[in-house]
Amino acid sequence: MELVLPRHRNWFLATAFLIWMIVGWPDLREVLRPNFATETGPSPWWTMAFLAFGASLLLWAHLPPSRFRSWTLVAIQFGAALVMAVTDASAISAGLMVITSWQVATLTSANRAVGLAVAQALTFLFVWRAWICAEYSLTLGLCSGLSLFAVFAASAMRREAEAGHKLAAANAELRAMQALLAENARIAERTRISRELHDAWGHELTALALQLEVASHILPEGDGLQKVRSAKDLSRALLGRVRDVVGTLRETEVTGLRAALAQLAHGIPRPRIHVDFPEELESHAASHAHVILRCAQEAITNAARHADAENLWLELRWDGKGVCLIARDDGRGTISAPAFGNGLHGMRERLEAQGGGMKVTSGTGPGFVIEAWLPAKGVNAA
């Protein structure tokens, strides 16, 4: 997957199209002359290869990034450059190696990119073996050096982009945890207030109601008894109101999990995260909010680093017995059983500690599917 900051990519594309035009200009100039003769102009094969290189470069610039598509377009460009080198006795076509070397460096590691750049130079050397001379040797050596420079520059840009993405991911995780902790702090404060109301006012109002009840039985009929009965009714009404307030404060409110997942999805540049979290699930997911958030973070890390995915779908479901988190991406799948790294092992241990579990599946199609489930409070895991 191509991983370069947009500003660097735009500069490269402008330079790449400029190199392409410079390489083709000597032959294009012949074609544009008024007295152009087919016999002295470029061959049809050269023209088709030149246009194919430009078209594939244009597609590489404008189509959405895809690993298979990017490698295919780079291979087309390299093949077109070789055809141009064979059909035109000019060493300038080696300049196209700089473009393909930079592209390869954005798609793979620096060591592999260097190896492919050297392989490109050796291929051009093999094609030109019949015409090799001082001019070709100098041009090929210069273009090979520029290709290696392009590889190292692109690798540095790739590392910068990776560091930026990691920083954005860490910042999003921090914001998500802050949102969750802030909401949990509010809930803890509401619980504390409800306990104070219940323990202090509740008991005193109950005692007051009992005292007024006793007084209503020992006082003689008259205005005094009527006022005691009114006070008794008011104390019972006030006690009922206090109990209502305590009950409301102790109800499970929004845990902040929805807000935390939204913060997490918003702060991750790649993959794009799509969250399906029904509002009615908020109360069911409350008891496991921290674990669910950690599982979502690991699913995002797995999709970005290992699956090389563009999109990740996070879906929460409630089946009456517990909460299920389904994470599905569109990255690289595998036919063999998915290997568990430290992240997935930690995710499984975290779930099993809460009585839950997880399953990871993949196939010949794109992507991995991670299913994590947690039992509801008071429900034993099967």
In the numeric block, which tokens belong to residue 107?
């798609």
The β-bridge partners of 276 are 315
Average pLDDT along the chain = 76
Q: pLDDT at residue 133 above 80?
A: no
DSSP 306-326: TS--SEEEEEEEE-SSEEEEE
C-beta separation of 126 from 170 below 8 A: no
The β-bridge partners of 324 are 317, 373
At 34, the pLDDT band (50, 70, 90 cuts) reads low
Residues contacting residue 10 through CB under 8 Å, at least 6 positions apart: none
- The CATH class for the domain spanning 271-375 reads alpha beta
Residue ranges covered by each domain of the chain = 6-165, 271-375
Q: Please report, as a single letter, which amino acid is at residue 199.
A: D
Tell me the percentage of the chain whose pLDDT exceeds 90: 2
Question: DSSP state, 131?
Answer: T
Least confident piece of the model among 89-93, 102-106, 229-233, 339-343: 339-343
221-280 pLDDT, tens digit each: 776 777 777 777 777 777 777 777 766 665 544 456 777 777 777 767 677 888 888 776
pLDDT at 381: 44
Phi, psi for 97 (deg, rounded to 5):
-60, -30
* pLDDT winner (highest mean) among 56-70, 157-171, 213-227: 56-70
C-beta separation of 226 from 257 below 8 A: no
* C-alpha pair distances (Å), 199 with each of 133, 187, 230, 249: 98, 18, 25, 14
pLDDT at 53: 92
C-beta separation of 259 from 183 below 8 A: yes
Longest CA span, the chain: 131
Q: pLDDT at residue 123 above 80?
A: yes
**Which three-class secondary structure string do you get for 233-275?**
HHHHHHHHHHHHHHHHHHCCCCCCHHHHHHHHHHHCCCCEEEE
Residues contacting residue 195 through CB under 8 Å, at least 6 positions apart: none
Q: pLDDT at residue 111 above 80?
A: yes
pLDDT at 76: 92
* Cut 0.75: pTM above it: no
